Amino acid sequence: MNPLNASADIITHIKEHRSVREYEKREISEKDLTKILESGIRASSSGNMQAYSIIVTKDINIRKELYPHHFNQEMVMDAPVLLTFCADFNRMRKWLDISNAPENFDNFMSFMIGSIDATLASQNCALAAESLGLGVCYMGTTLANAHKIGEVLNLPKNVVPIVGFSLGYPKGVTNKKDRLPLSSIVHEEKYQDYTTSEIQEIYREREQSGMKRYKDVRELNEKIEAGHIENLAQVYTKIKYTKESHELYSRNLFEYLKEQNFFN
């Protein structure tokens, strides 16, 4: 992926980011892994409660169990390490319990706090890893199948997986993906809503490059043709993120949050 050397400054590293889905068969040293995790826990967290846990999975048998729940994404088996970042109020609530303090944090607000803490820690780990020449690829399946992944990882109540990524040495160089123009994302002082022509302009380049990228993948192109998909916007909501799938994931997540004690 990223052809940078380890001494490049942090902004250069950030700007060279690209997701890595193919990995060399090469272990990560304990020293580097510790550096990455130590960088993760330096992230800001709400009230410095650090309402998250990081699960480091290397064992091939556990990765085999996770594989179908990550929808058979090859990186689960090919990368030497998977990191799963969980919203976690189990540890904190146990401490409250033995300290004769009211055991709060069994509500949706606490879930959001833990999720934000976990995500900030994850991105710190990702950047630290990239600065060491490693690559990552987040997996949205961590949240979509949180209940199944939680079961494999033995998560107790008050703990929910939020984000996860594969981690390892990149095989080859991956192209950098486009971003929407900065001016379309940043609003000066207050939100300025978009006109139709601004929306067309913002997505103009992506519509071409994105559609080309999907058409270059054989199975996706077959789906595009079979579904008479006319443009990139339709790829997003008729193929990749359908109403049915997102409503199903939402229902599963609500149920799991109730089970995990985050819905009072």
Interface with ligand FMN by CB under 6 A: which residues? 17-19, 21, 73, 137-141, 163, 177
Nearest distance, CB of residue 170 and ligand FMN, angstroms: 11
Nearer to ligand FMN, 17 or 58 (CB): 17
Nearer to ligand FMN, 139 or 146 (CB): 139
Nearest distance, CB of residue 90 and ligand FMN, angstroms: 23
Nearest distance, CB of residue 131 and ligand FMN, angstroms: 16
Residues 63, 78: Cα–Cα separation, whole Å: 10
- Cβ 262 vs Cβ 110: under 8 Å: yes
Nearest distance, CB of residue 140 and ligand FMN, angstroms: 3
Instruction: Kindly report the three-state secondary structure assignment for every residue of 89-154.
Output: CHHHHHHHHHCCCCCCCCCHHHHHHHHHHHHHHHHHHHHHHHHCCCEEEECCHHHHCHHHHHHHCC
The token pair that represents 227 in the structure block: 């579904």
Strands (E), 21-80: 52-57
Nearer to ligand FMN, 21 or 63 (CB): 21
Nearer to ligand FMN, 179 or 204 (CB): 179
Nearer to ligand FMN, 33 or 163 (CB): 163
Query: Which residue, 96, 93, 99, 165, is CA-closest to 135?
Result: 165
The token pair that represents 61 in the structure block: 């048998």
Strands (E), the chain: 52-57, 81-88, 135-138, 159-168
Nearest distance, CB of residue 175 and ligand FMN, angstroms: 8
- Cβ 34 vs Cβ 128: under 8 Å: no
Nearer to ligand FMN, 138 or 263 (CB): 138
Nearest distance, CB of residue 106 and ligand FMN, angstroms: 25
In the beta sheet, which residues pair with residue 56? 83
